[in-house]
Chain A
Amino acid sequence: MSLVKVDDLRVAFGATPVVRGVSFEIGAGECLALVGESGSGKSVTARTLVGLTGEGAQVSAAGLAFDGQDLTRLRERGWRRLRGARIGFVLQDALVSLDPLRKVGKEIEEVLTAHTALSGSERKARVTELLAAAGVPEPGLRAGQLPHELSGGLRQRALIATALAADPELVIADEPTTALDVTIQAQVLDLLAGIKAQGRSLLVISHDLAVVARLADRVAVMKDGVIVEQGPTGRVLGQPAHHYTRRLLRAIPAEHTKGTRLSETGPRPVPAAPRRAAGDVVVRAEGVGKSFGGRPAVQDVSFTLRAAETLGIVGESGSGKTTTARIALGLTAADTGTVEVHGRPWTRKDRALRRDVQIVYQDPLAAFDPRYTVAKVLAEALAVAGVPRGRRRERAVELLELVGLGAEHLARRPLRLSGGQRQRVAIARALAPEPSVIVCDEPVSALDVSVQAQVLDLLEDVQRETGVAYLFISHDLGVVHHLCDRVLVMKDGRVVEEGPVGTVFREPAHPYTKELVAAVPRLAAA
């Protein structure tokens, strides 16, 4: 018998339907992956299973049952006996899903207090056991720390430990690996596989098919509140029946997608112009080093970046890739070594050089003044670039068209744009002073696979058209492989390996690169 049975579930917020007739079952010990873009209704569906759909939600279903119990008739008290005790819920992003002001041990203990009769000292012992079981080293010490004192991977493990504390039969994990480094991502997937091996049922939610490929027994693909396709993982990924599934699969950047478009319908047709050959050197860094408070962040980093070329920097958080980018941008002065742009040394005062190197951040929402309209964001950048006032609007529209938007977006504010549109505006802003280099710091990490595909295509189009060089920082090897010409692999502030992207990823020489490459989630069928 199925542990979870959902039949024709419908959820609406006010007049807006979010889930429009979803049906699925999860058997005991089975893992179902719910895959779709943000806004597809997958998270809302999952939350409905624990009665936390959200304020103002109207939920109806022909059937909604857990272990034979009808959930549609459940009152708050009944839900509380289910939540945490029989269904463990791992929310997205442990940094915000664990109370930042409480020790992680307390968060786990809370579940035990609510659902078990254990004494205080028994609970403490159990907390340590649970952390250890989730793969947290020194669990006794970690239990007494606050979430921000843990690394991203440990934090995610601690969050998973809270969901497992009361030994639930079903664990729901919402984007459990998003925003984690590749190797950490692989470890967390292993941890989830271990949870399944214990005989628990698992519902994993993700926007990335590759992530769930080796974990899920069955996959359900969701779009606009409807499951468009569901079936055994091998079948759905190997012979996708629905065109949307095919589109999602095609959007995953990897080695074999290099030189092809990822998004089915790009913002503009593929230009006929061939890629320009890499041109003159625009940035040359020699033996760059930088320490913060005596701790070296970057040591002896050298690279050259040529016009119309994309240089990738991969490495985990703390490897020094962002510091390297900041030095290349002239935002941080290097302690040792030199950085030259167009053969001129970087100095803070050289405004012309500053305009020549622009940046696109991971989170464009944080990089825009929320009160500015798109027109104002671009006008400001154009003013700095020295474009006369009368020409700015015209130029702003040109820039928007270059990134696949139009004049109709000028009056919008960042909050009213989708994530992909925001990143397009950020790219347009970076292009305003006609730079020769754009530093892209994890520009697609916060985006869904399908939106990421569009932005990656856009970056290639822009490069073809303008010959701009990219310094592209990412933790995602698939993205780097797809987009970059050459790559630097960084670890602990040093470059451990560099070369053409195909060579480095196909025949990694350094053990660390080998580890990274091995950790990349792959589609068996692809």
Chain B
Amino acid sequence: MTTLRFIGWRLLAGAGVLWGAATLTFLVVHFTPGDPAEAVVGGEGAAPTPEVLAQVRAEYGLDLPWYQQYAAHLWRIVRGDFGTSYRLHTPVTQAIGEQAAATVELALAGAATGLTLAVAVALATARRRRWLRGLASAAELVAASTPTFWLGIVLLTVFSFGLRLFPATGGQGPASLVLPALCLALPIAGVLGHVLRESLEEVLDEPFIVSARARGLGDAAVRVRHALRHAMTPLVTMTGYWVGALLGGAVVTETLFTRQGIGRLLVSAVNAKDLPVVLGVVLLSALVYVVVNLVVDLLYLAIDPRLKEAA
């Protein structure tokens, strides 16, 4: 019951975040210099007649007072109508929907790779010999501080142009997913691995770890069965942040590897001043952020049931 109530409150707070995002998008449209009607008919270069502009304004409700426009804006969002792309002349939901699968595929592959790497490296190196930890720590620092675009170029140069192991571009088949996923995964693996090792080392000092060893458990069992779960909490927090900020990474990765996806959609929409698409992506990332944070909070409860009483 308390868990249900907790979820209820979280959903309510999430709705608040989405409302905020929707309001922000409205303000952006309203206060952006330039005439949206002009953008609809193809920008300043199109030199439309005043009659055409007036017609467009009436059609898009741009001639109404701001509060009516705001209400209409919110109502459209509630109904799932994010408007029509100025550039593609298709509904924004459709434009995003067509690109979503590729980005989700990339994000999942990246997240899985990153998490696996981080957990494996941290488990293998926590509380080990100094040189081994130093090596892992250095590798993580390099991975975490390398800019994504540069990492992507290095990956392309070595594995695609050099060794010809994986294709450089395109979104067809699992082979084409390897390099972009790695490009997305390595920086996050660096950060997560570091965080996880630190918390593992803290946990490995706990008396219940000594207890487990005193029962005759091997080192691997102690780490995996006892220590890992305790060390998961900061990992989950970081993963939550990262998924929230995923879109930024997707922009660079998808552009670099010329993949389809929401990142590229966003770039081309920004370039074309295609406001409805940009706003749609903003709202989508707000939604992803809300959902991910709810999942993170539920994961905390799953990891540490003692929090249920606190919540």
Say whether B303 faces chain A, with CB atoms less than 8 Å apart: yes
Say whether B65 faces chain A, with CB atoms less than 8 Å apart: no
Looking at the complex, which of A88-96, A261-269, A401-409, A471-479 is the stretch in contact with chain B? A88-96
Q: Which residues from A are CB-within-8-Å of B230?
A: 101
Q: Which residues from B are CB-within-8-Å of A111?
A: 215-216
In chain A, positions 486-508 with a C-beta closer than 8 Å to chain B are none
Say whether A97 faces chain B, with CB atoms less than 8 Å apart: yes
Say whether B213 faces chain A, with CB atoms less than 8 Å apart: yes
Residue pair B217, A110 in contact (C-beta under 8 Å): yes
Residue of B nearest to A159 (CB): B211
State in angstroms the CA–CA spacing of A5 and B225 once bound together: 34
Residue among A50, A102, A110, A111 with max Cβ neighbours from chain B (10 Å): A110
Contacts A100-B306, A102-B226; A81 near B216 (Cβ below 8 A): yes
State in angstroms the CA–CA spacing of A89 and B213 once bound together: 10
Say whether A83 faces chain B, with CB atoms less than 8 Å apart: yes
Minimum Cβ distance to chain A for residue B194 (Å):
21
Question: CB < 8 Å: which of B211, B215, B229, B305 contacts A146?
Answer: B305
Residue among B208, B212, B305 with max Cβ neighbours from chain A (10 Å): B208
Q: Which residues from A are CB-within-8-Å of B303?
A: 101
What number of B residues sit within 8 Å (CB to CB) of A? 22
Q: Which residues from A are CB-within-8-Å of B304?
A: 101
Contacts A80-B218, A146-B306; A97 near B207 (Cβ below 8 A): yes
Question: CB < 8 Å: which of B127, B206, B213, B218 contacts A52?
Answer: B213
In chain A, positions 145-170 with a C-beta closer than 8 Å to chain B are 146, 148, 159, 162-163, 165-166
For A69-100 the 0/1 string (1 means CB < 8 A from B) is 00000001000111111000101110011111
State in angstroms the CA–CA spacing of A115 and B206 once bound together: 23
Say whether A114 faces chain B, with CB atoms less than 8 Å apart: yes
Residue pair A98, B208 in contact (C-beta under 8 Å): yes
Minimum Cβ distance to chain A for residue B62 (Å):
56
Residue pair A114, B306 in contact (C-beta under 8 Å): no
Residue pair A96, B215 in contact (C-beta under 8 Å): no
Residue pair A99, B226 in contact (C-beta under 8 Å): yes
Residue pair A114, B216 in contact (C-beta under 8 Å): yes
Contacts A96-B207, A146-B305, A148-B306; A114 near B214 (Cβ below 8 A): no
Contacts A83-B216, A162-B215; A52 near B208 (Cβ below 8 A): no
Question: How many residues of A sit at the interface, in one of the four size bands?
Answer: 20 to 34
Question: CB < 8 Å: which of B127, B216, B219 contacts A115?
Answer: B216
Say whether B210 faces chain A, with CB atoms less than 8 Å apart: yes
Minimum Cβ distance to chain B for residue A111 (Å):
5
Residue of B nearest to A87 (CB): B214
Residue pair A83, B213 in contact (C-beta under 8 Å): yes
Residue pair B215, A114 in contact (C-beta under 8 Å): yes
Residue among A80, A162, A165 with max Cβ neighbours from chain B (10 Å): A80
State in angstroms the CA–CA spacing of A162 and B216 once bound together: 11
Minimum Cβ distance to chain A for residue B29 (Å):
49
Contacts A93-B207, A100-B208; A84 near B305 (Cβ below 8 A): no
Minimum Cβ distance to chain A for residue B5 (Å):
16
Q: Which residues from A are CB-within-8-Å of B210?
A: 47, 52, 91, 97
State in angstroms the CA–CA spacing of A102 and B206 once bound together: 14
State in angstroms the CA–CA spacing of A146 and B309 once bound together: 13
28 sample A-B contacts, Cβ–Cβ < 8 Å, listed by A number: A52-B210, A80-B217, A80-B218, A82-B216, A83-B213, A83-B215, A84-B214, A84-B216, A84-B217, A85-B216, A91-B211, A92-B207, A97-B207, A98-B211, A99-B212, A101-B305, A102-B226, A110-B212, A110-B217, A110-B225, A111-B216, A114-B215, A146-B305, A146-B306, A148-B306, A159-B211, A162-B215, A163-B214
Other A-B pairs, 6, CB within 8 Å; known A84-B217, A101-B303, A165-B215: A81-B216, A83-B216, A96-B208, A114-B215, A146-B305, A146-B306
List of 8 A-B pairs having minimum Cβ-Cβ separation, nearest first: A84-B216, A89-B214, A84-B215, A83-B216, A99-B208, A97-B207, A96-B207, A97-B211
